[in-house]
Amino acid sequence: MVHHVLIRLGAQEFVDIAADVKKSEGDDQLARHAKWVQRAHPDKRITYLIEGLPRYLEIQKTKMVRIQKKRLLGEAGDEAEAAIPEEDAARMRVTKKKLDSAAVWLQVNMKFHIRMTKDVAESSLYVLRLTTAIANAPYR
């Protein structure tokens, strides 16, 4: 019997869920997603593997700086804002603090395990170690 469930989320997927970027109808998308996962996998150890978040946040910060420079220099004005889709603008406003709060909420309220990795190589190494540990665990 499998006692572990590993869910890999890319940085943008986690941001969309945690920050409710897609603006679901009044309810918290993160809570809804977490409860759905819990119902689908009762009595399992659920781990969220969040990949590439530091790099994603750095890219978003760079985009914001570029937009602010253009506004400051008066190069693009309102056209720069109009060129950015609403979802992308919402993602750029998400802070590391909000994402950290979402991760802590998942750990404390939902009892999920959170593992953040910087890239595919680190994620692969984590999965390798996890599956090795599970395979070598004594049968109960």
106's CB contacts (< 8 A; 6+ apart) are 30, 34, 48, 112, 114
| Architecture field, domain 4-136 | 3-Layer(aba) Sandwich (3.40)
As a whole number of angstroms, the distance between CA 9 and CA 52 comes to 9
Q: Where are the domains of the chain?
A: 4-136
Task: Judge whether 139 and 9 are in contact, CB under 8 Å.
Answer: no
Mean pLDDT of the chain: 85
**pTM assigned to the model:** 0.79
Mean predicted confidence (pLDDT) in 87-92:
72
Q: Please, which residues have CB within 8 angstroms of residue 99's CB and are 6 or more apart in sequence?
A: 14, 15, 18, 19, 53, 57
Q: How far apart are CA 45 and CA 47, in angstroms?
A: 7
pLDDT grade for 27, boundaries at 50, 70 and 90: low
Return the pLDDT at 1. Answer: 61
Sign of CA dihedral 83, 86, 116, 65: positive
DSSP annotation of 84 reads: S
d(CA 111, CA 108): 6
Q: What is the pLDDT of residue 41?
A: 94
